[in-house]
Amino acid sequence: MIFYGPCTVKYAGKDLGKTFGGVSLSLKTVTRRPVGEYNVEEIIVGGEGAANFYSWPSTLSLNSTTLLYDFNQVILEGPKYKITLYSCKILFDGDSMNFGTEEQKPLKAKLIFKPDAWKNVIKIET
């Protein structure tokens, strides 16, 4: 699934800024058939995504209690959509982030999400 337009990303309630050109998500599913049933169910068990950040809020503060590689709720809010990933971690490409350099480059991030304790995975609102 591809969602167009820059979106705002929030991790555990903290505003991480905007993406360049939206986000892409792919869902991992399993197919099961309950015993004695003819109907097949497809269940979402997680997924991955990609985002390119280009804008950060001026008050962004990442300290030792904010661990983006921990699973937490992530909200992606674009011009015509709002996506909630109930249990997601964000992995940035590379070991460091460059701020205030002469050349502004998008910061690539990988989203990895899974079901939370209540088996919620993703909610999409348009």
Residue 56, helix vs strand vs coil: coil
The count of residues in the chain is 126
pTM here?
Answer: 0.83
| 59-81 pLDDT tens trace | 666 655 556 778 999 999 998 89
| 13-44 pLDDT tens trace | 988 888 888 899 999 999 988 888 888 989 99
Amino acid at 24: S
What distance in Å separates the CA atoms of residue 66 and residue 35, rounded to the nearest whole number? 44
H helices then E strands: how many in the chain?
0, 8
